[in-house]
Amino acid sequence: MRIELENLEDGKGSFAHTYQPEELNLVDERVRVTQPISVNGQVMKSGSEIQISGRVETRVNVECDRCLKMVELPVSAGFKLQYITGQDYEAGHAAELTADEMALSVFDGEAIDVDEIVREQILLSVPDRALCDENCRGICSMCGTNLNSGSCECKSSEVDPRWAALKNFKNGEA
């Protein structure tokens, strides 16, 4: 969805849209959207600047960082962004903006691409590392057993270096 600025009445307007999960390609393969994505917000034009604020809501699946099980996370991301045209940006207009600079984007002066905002907000709200449970025991790196649902012999056959030293000492004594 794009918001055409010429359709704004008195320089402002509101928007709401629902995307089907497969409608937006998130690019990031780690994240899979499982529910329809809803977005709504307000647009305001002041001079050559556009301010857009709103909220994106959905649910996503990501893999547990330790055991690779799918973890479903809610996404509820509020955003507040500022847009200026590329011309204004080059004219040094952006230099006046300090604190809000992080949220400053450049657009073509005609329309704001809401798909792009939604995509970005979903990816920003997903943590780098997700765990199915903070006590997740993960997968054995040697045999691949999921240690949450089973156990394996790999750890116990690994000899603790302190015991290995003791073993050598005993052997030497014999």
**Footprint on this chain of Zn ion (rule: CB under 5 A):** 64, 66-67, 132, 136, 140, 142-143, 145, 152, 154
Q: Report the residue number, 98 or 156, with the smaller CB distance to Zn ion.
A: 156
Q: Name the minimum Å distance from CB 116 to Zn ion.
A: 32
3-state SS, residue 166: helix
Nearer residue to Zn ion within complex by CB, 65 or 88: 65
Q: Cβ closer to Zn ion: 66 or 119?
A: 66
For residue 72 the two structure tokens come to 């479903």
Which amino acid, 3? I
- CB of 72 vs Zn ion, minimal distance in Å: 13
What SS3 class is residue 6?
helix
Please state, in angstroms and rounded to a whole number, the distance separating the CA atoms of residues 142 and 153: 10
Whose tokens are 């798909």? That residue is 115
Strand intervals (E) in 36-172: 37-46, 49-63, 70-85, 104-107, 111-113
User: Minimum distance from CB of 128 to Zn ion (Å)?
Assistant: 15
Structure tokens at 42: 């307000």
The neighbouring-strand residues paired with 55 are: 40, 78
Could you tell me the smallest distance in angstroms from the CB atom of residue 35 to Zn ion?
A: 22
CB-nearer residue toward Zn ion: 95 or 143:
143
Residue among 25 and 156 whose Cβ is closer to Zn ion: 156
* Residue 71, phi then psi, degrees to nearest 5: -115, 130
Shortest spacing between CB 61 and Zn ion, in angstroms: 13
How far are the Cα atoms of 2, 45, 93, 136, 151 from residue 50, in angstroms, in the given order?
14, 5, 13, 45, 57
